[in-house]
Amino acid sequence: MNFARFLCSQLLLICIVLLATSAWCVYAVLAGVNGVVVALTALCIVLCVIIYIICQYIFTDKRLKKLNRILAELDETYLLGEVLPLPENALEEEYFMIMKAVSRSAIETAELAKKSRDEYCEYVEKWVHEIKTPLTACSLILANNGDKRKLREQLRRADNVTENILYFARLKNSGASTQIVRTDVRSAVDDAVKSEMELLLSAGIGVEADGDFETCTDRKALVFILKQLLVNCAKYCRGAHIKITAEEGMLTFEDNGPGIPAHELPRIFSRGFSGSSAAGSGGTGMGLYLVKKTCENLGIEVTAASDEGKFTRFTFAFPSVRQTNLTNL
């Protein structure tokens, strides 16, 4: 800060001192005080103010230079609020607290952004490894006379893996891509099953669908959720039977596969979690995480139940059902 700018910031003080000094001089003269005494008193007041302003400038300039040095040494400038010198007065204390609040908010935002970036990079790395499996399989199939059925199966696997990373990328901006429309749940179930038919047939999985109801939701997202569950069954429940029931706003997806161990059940929707049945599969552990997050974006409540060795059941309660229940309460 140069002296001229600092002087401008002290204009109010200077004006008050000049007015007070002028008033004193007028009063002193009218009171019969000696003119020399009045002049000397006025001069002393002005000199004191000048000395005060100079000292304040030196002190302020020194503190600002210190702050600039601290700022220059910081790798992340938003951390300045965490290393500010202690305040010298009440006004500085208020500014100090404000800067602390701003800095902490910036730190939280930066940490969330870093966490999100790291999660995305980690997922992309896993995704690259997962997408290589069906692509390698396609190359081998083509090198061995190209069985069309097997080729379609591997292409479907690759398409599913690609769709997963697209949905993961959209999670942070779900509102822009969500299209809520009136839809029949049964038609979404049929589309999901038809889409994954190659994988289901290859895994020897039978699907039974029963019931229907109309709801307002993002149809593509609903199909994506169902496809994730079908793909999981094709991976880990070969030869199983799937029963999908739609009734009065509740959609139930149940298979009679190996089930989920009780100690793993609370974690199945966690990002990157792969249960014991998925060990060595090379999966990303993101399928059910995407199901959970997509359901949250659509206001659908999803719960899971399982009895190891007997069944696994996913239940989806659509918003209209929960609202009706709340109204009845």
User: What pLDDT score does 229 carry?
Assistant: 94
User: What pLDDT score does 145 carry?
Assistant: 79
pTM of the entire predicted model: 0.68
3-class secondary structure, 213:
coil
The mean pLDDT value for 106-125 works out to 84
Q: What is the CA radius of gyration of the chain?
A: 36
Q: pLDDT for 37-48, tens place per residue?
A: 888 988 998 899
User: What pLDDT score does 211 carry?
Assistant: 92
Q: pLDDT for 134-160, tens place per residue?
A: 888 888 888 887 788 888 888 888 888
User: What pLDDT score does 227 carry?
Assistant: 94
pLDDT at 329 over 50: no
Q: pLDDT for 12-32, tens place per residue?
A: 888 988 898 889 888 888 888
**Phi–psi pair at 253, nearest 5 degrees:** -120, 115
Q: Are 116 and 172 a contacting pair, CB within 8 Å? A: yes
- Which of 143, 211, 221, 216 has its CA nearest to residue 178? 221
User: What pLDDT score does 210 carry?
Assistant: 93
User: Which pairs with CB-CB distance under 8 Å and at least 24 residues apart come from 98-106?
Assistant: 103/78, 103/79, 106/78, 106/81
pLDDT at 128 over 60: yes
Among 154-163, 221-230, 308-317, the minimum mean pLDDT is found in 154-163
Mean pLDDT across the chain: 85
